[in-house]
Every structure is written in structure tokens, then in C-alpha cells.
Structure 1
Amino acid sequence: MGGMDTNDYRTALISGEVRAWLARRQKTQAELADHLGIARSAITRRMKGDRLFSLPELMDVADWLEISLQDLLGPEILGTRKSPRSDLVTTGAREDEWALRGSNPRPMD
């Protein structure tokens, strides 16, 4: 990642994926700006990684390109972080401590 912080790195990955999909679909940044109803300069900032795409924008881009959001983001972006829940559940606990002590194992009616 070099001197880039995590958010800058992710922003750069996302903008790179959008650029790649535009090229695959033979679409221009100007067409994307028109489709999203935003200024071309705003698309330029997003494509350079100076500004984040919002989630609704990414969903709209994927629909417009006729791909899934998963396809648009790609495996590198989607795999950059594992679920935080697994970290929270077991942090500082031994396996024998995971179960609630004194809980009733019978189902409730």
C-alpha cells in the first residue's frame, strides 16, 4: 500500500474497477456522469480517487453496466476485510468460555 492509508487504497481500487468496467463496456466517463446526473468534474474526482462513490451510485453504475455490484467491485475489494463479527465474538475468550454460563440449553416455548 505504500504511503497510502487504507481508505485511500480502497478508494483507488474502486475507481480502478469502475474505469476497467467502463472500458470493457466501451462507455465513457462523460456518459457515466450523464447517467448519474452529476457534473463531469464530479466523475473526474471520483475516477481519480479524490472523492468516494456513494453506495447508491455504485449500485446505479452496476445496473447501468448490466453487471452485479459484486462484479463491479471485484474480489480484491470484497475480500479486503473479513467479517468484524468473528473478531468480536472470540476476542479474549477461550473456546470453553464462548457459551453462556448457567444458560438453559432447552428451547423456550
Structure 2
Amino acid sequence: MSSFQIGAPARRAGEARAAHVAAEVRAEMARQGKTKGELARALGVTHHTARSRYDGTQPYNLIELVQVSLWLGVPLGRLAEVA
């Protein structure tokens, strides 16, 4: 049985996209004066989990991105847009 492994270039690209999404979320939260505690409540997760998403150390999953976009009142594409 073989296992699927993502190659280093694809992994780096995914990490760059995740960092970009986290930066967009942080920027929008700053514009709106929202806190990490409020983010945790909006996502229904612990402060630790919210902080790891906010800091970009763990990527947001699709459901979380939808929740964040609704909570911030911005289109999902704005948060996930890659220049």
C-alpha cells in the first residue's frame, strides 16, 4: 500500500496561501476592531486554536473560512484571494 505525500513545492505553496489567508483575516479584523477572543467565539473553538489560525501557524479549514467571512461580513473570496 502506498501513501500519498505532497511534494515540497506544493507544500510550500499551500503554506504560503495559508499565511496569506491568515494575514487577510488579521487585516480585516484590525479594520473592524475585532479581537482573537471574538474570533474564538465566532469559530466555536478554544482561544489556543483561534490564536493558531490567527497567527497562521495552523491553516483555516473551509468551514472556518466560511464562518469567518460571515462573521466579518466580507466575501469569502476577499479572504482567500491570492494576488
Q: TM-score range with shorter-chain normalisation?
A: 0.7 to 0.9
**Normalization by structure 2: what TM-score?**
0.78
Structure 2: gaps (5+ residues): 1-10
Structure 1: gaps (5+ residues): 77-109
Q: Which residue of 2 aligns with 1:73?
A: 80
Q: Highest CA radius of gyration, 1 or 2? A: 1
Q: 1:48 aligns with which of 39, 52, 55?
A: 55
Q: Which residue of 2 aligns with 1:5?
A: 12
Q: 2:21 aligns with which of 14, 34, 46?
A: 14
Higher RCO by CA contacts (8 Å cutoff, separation 6 or greater): 2
Give the CA RMSD over aligned residues.
Answer: 1.5
Q: Which residue of 2 aligns with 1:23?
A: 30
Compared with structure 1, are the counterparts of its residues 57 and 51 closer, same or farther at alpha carbon in structure 2 (3 Å cutoff)?
same
Q: Whose helix fraction is larger, Structure 1's or Structure 2's?
A: 2
